[in-house]
Amino acid sequence: MSDINATPRAPRNIHSPTIGIIGGGQLAKMLGQAASQLGVQVIVLTDNPQCPAAATCHRIITESSNSLASLRELASQVDVVTLENEFVDAALLRQLEEEGHCVRPTSRSIELVQDKLIQKDVLRAAGLPVPAFVDIPTRESLDIAIAQLGLPLVLKKRRNGYDGKGNATLRKIEDAQKVWDELSGNQHALFAEGFVDFTHELAVMISRTPEGASAIYPVVETIQKDHICHVVKAPAQIPIDVKTRAVTLAKQAVEAMQGVGSFGIEMFYSRSGEVLINELAPRVHNSGHYTIEACECSQFENHIRTILGWPLGSPTLNAPAAVMINLLGMNNGHGYPMGIGQALQIDGAHIHVYGKSLSAPSRKMGHVTAMGASLDIAFELAQNAAKLIRFGDSKI
């Protein structure tokens, strides 16, 4: 007879799947929230033990993520290694794969995406429309690019740019040296893009399985200020044929990168009616945060599902409209906001505070999502809550 007081033991061959995330920011935190719902364990590799992901992961390996030794330590403890930013060197990820570890997205995808110039080359070679661009290996090549692309143009760092850090718009020929210095052209590899006169910036999230099946989220409009995303509106208010084009391009772009997992594809809808791909993120993305409340299965859950080889969840919107507003730091200060008590009185506003230790001007500290019968209704609801929440308020 079996002893009913004995500690239950899991049957052989069953264990909690464990994923390893490179990076511990808000994206890793929200991946951890989705993982825990499915009983998936999370180990995070980051050099900051007070990171947002500390709230939702089982363990942190406190090491640099650009060292092979620490990546090996992570990989040896998990079923699959994934990432929340594209800054880890693809060659290190390839080494993990060669040692038999599962990395998703693969090192090849990261290699094609992490250098924005290579990314643009791959997209163009796949026949996909992108803004005109040229390599800028020297200061002299910037002068040639001005003649070739015209002004304004956007000068960009090839690697490690985010939230506009790593971009500068050159409007006047006499500012060429200033803009070159601003991006430290002597130290960083740069490229230049023709300035796109767009009416809308669009984004699509796609979660793609290792077998090539995709969950495609709605086309959204993203509104940036100073190159930082402020508002996401789902679905974008654009003609249906433009939506169809955007979805087709986004899908082809992820296929060109052999992507597995959730990918964000940013696009421009130009005044002349073109849809051009701006860039891909080989990971969950700010333009998909609204999916947590507004879609049947979020970009985060679908990322977990795809990297573990599980079935895709539905990306369908569960309301006619949804709006996400980023909560940016006002000043240097505490990472917990003022005004949250008032904001929580607004029913239907879903508030996320990332749990960063410190606020800084324009730092992404949290976000609010609201749904509604129309974009206007959802926007008003989200905005009413967002304006009450203040990070680093200098008046305190």
Q: How far is CA 80 from CA 16, 26, 32, 46, in A?
A: 12, 20, 14, 17
**Structure tokens belonging to residue 379:** 């926007």
Q: How far is CA 155 from CA 124, 213, 217, 231, in A?
A: 19, 35, 30, 24
In the complex, minimum distance from the CB of residue 268 to ligand ADP, in angstroms, rounded to a whole number: 7
* Widest Cα–Cα separation across the chain: 88
Only segment of 18-26, 162-170, 180-188, 296-304 that touches ligand ADP (CB under 6 A): 162-170
Using CA atoms in the order 76, 78, 84, 88, what is the torsion angle rounded to 10 degrees? 10
The candidate with the shortest Cα–Cα distance to 27, out of 84, 81, 82, 80, is 84
**Residue 79 touching ligand ADP (CB under 6 A):** no
In the complex, minimum distance from the CB of residue 204 to ligand ADP, in angstroms, rounded to a whole number: 14
**Residue 30 touching ligand ADP (CB under 6 A):** no
**Residue 264 touching ligand ADP (CB under 6 A):** no
**Structure tokens belonging to residue 129:** 């429309």
**Residue 348 touching ligand ADP (CB under 6 A):** no
Interface pattern 272-311 for ligand ADP (x via CB under 6 A): ------xx--------------------------------
**Structure tokens belonging to residue 205:** 């999230």
| Complex with ligand ADP: residue 71 or 190, whichever CB lies closer | 190
* C-alpha–C-alpha distance, residues 390 and 353, integer Å: 11
| Complex with ligand ADP: residue 201 or 221, whichever CB lies closer | 201
Candidates 53, 154, 242, 253; binder of ligand ADP (CB under 6 A) is 154
Interface pattern 166-195 for ligand ADP (x via CB under 6 A): xx-------------------------x-x
**Structure tokens belonging to residue 362:** 């324009």
- Helix, strand, or coil (residue 169): strand
Number of residues that bind ligand ADP (CB under 6 A): 18
* C-alpha–C-alpha distance, residues 155 and 350, integer Å: 37
User: By the 8 A CB rule, do 204 and 217 touch?
Assistant: yes
**Residue 201 touching ligand ADP (CB under 6 A):** yes
In the complex, minimum distance from the CB of residue 312 to ligand ADP, in angstroms, rounded to a whole number: 27
Residues 210-249 that bind ligand ADP (CB under 6 A): 224, 227
**Which positions lie near ligand ADP, rule CB under 6 A?**
131, 154, 156, 161-164, 166-167, 193, 195-196, 201, 224, 227, 266, 278-279
